[in-house]
Amino acid sequence: MSQIGKLGYVDSKLGAPTSGQQTTRILFNTIEAPGTTSSLSFFKNFQGLTNGQTNLTQNKLDSMESMVIKTIWLTQIDSSNVLQSFGGFSQQTLSIIVGNQTVVKNLPIHFNQGINGQAFDRLHENAAVNSDDNVSATDTLQTRMPIEIRLLTDIVIPPQVAFEVRIESNAAAYGTGAVVCALSGYGKIFSAGNTF
């Protein structure tokens, strides 16, 4: 089933409106100065974030909006604006909770980090360029890459259902800059059409 078919199927099951502008939707949320922690929750806190740090104001889509999550993207930037490996090199897992249901459960994310070349799928080359001794100042190219995971299945965020992305680790270091999570995929946004 295609992303479009899956979204239509779920929307119809839930009685959600099937009209609306079809588009590619990317949601993102930032956590400032996460520090060293065992747990991060994205799309939970929007207070104090600007439009450059999130494109939502609450942890749910509007009543006429829904989307399919196909790609998860995570990055860490330090307080000097330098891209870092997300959570250092430590083992971390990701869960996505939609409503009361865990729809992605403890998915390890560190293999797609672009440092050891064991990305889940063949398409991701993980071509981060890194000096042998990790001295970023002497590198001439980008030294780190964000984590990006392409899901095998279509995960739907229906209209007006709260969702959350949780990262768990054993005290991973996320630094004093910021970490960002983006969810990308096919979606529908509100379109008044000729209603107004």
CB of residue 73 vs another protein: minimum separation in angstroms? 15
- Residue 102 in the binding site for another protein (CB under 8 A): yes
- Residue 20 in the binding site for another protein (CB under 8 A): no
- Residue 152 in the binding site for another protein (CB under 8 A): yes
In 10 A of CB 117, how many CB atoms?
A: 12
Which backbone phi and psi does 3 adopt, to 5 degrees?
-60, -40
Q: How far is CA 170 from the centre of its chain?
A: 20
- Residue 110 in the binding site for another protein (CB under 8 A): yes
- Residue 15 in the binding site for another protein (CB under 8 A): no
CB of residue 95 vs another protein: minimum separation in angstroms? 10
Site residues for another protein, 161-180, by CB under 8 A, read 168-170
CB of residue 24 vs another protein: minimum separation in angstroms? 19
11 to each of 61, 96, 107, 170, how far by Cα in Å?
13, 19, 26, 37
- Residue 73 in the binding site for another protein (CB under 8 A): no
Give the type of residue at 52: G
Residue written as tokens 């009543």?
Answer: 63
